[in-house]
Amino acid sequence: MSAEVRAPTARVCERCGREEYWDESLEAWQIVRDDGDKQAGNPHCLHEWDINGTFNPVVERSD
């Protein structure tokens, strides 16, 4: 059995609702678009992402 470390692939700001996803090809967070509009939230917000102590980056694998 081995462990794999994973990173989050999506996040939402708990303060303003900004939504982002991880783009593998760009290796950067990108703003989610809904009908062509960026879901940017408040551009002046100090974002508080919904990734907290409940997110476990370690996944057990059975080889």
Domain-embedded: residue 22: yes
Which residue's entry shows tokens 């996803």? 21
pTM: 0.70
For residue range 8-56, list pLDDT tens digits in order. Answer: 888 999 999 999 999 999 999 999 999 988 888 898 999 988 776 677 7
| Residue 18 CB-density burial (10 A; 0-12 exposed, 13-18 middle, 19+ buried) | buried
Count of domains observed in the chain: 1
Would you place residue 63 in the very low, low, confident or very high pLDDT band (cuts 50, 70, 90)?
Answer: low
Rounded CA-CA distance 63/61 in Å is: 6
Domain-embedded: residue 46: no
Per DSSP, 36 falls in state T
For residue range 24-35, list pLDDT tens digits in order. Answer: 999 999 999 999
Boundaries of domain holding 32 = 10-40
Would you place residue 2 in the very low, low, confident or very high pLDDT band (cuts 50, 70, 90)?
Answer: confident
How wide is the angle at C-alpha 36 spanned by C-alphas 32 and 42, nearest 5°? 50
How wide is the angle at C-alpha 8 spanned by C-alphas 1 and 61, nearest 5°? 10
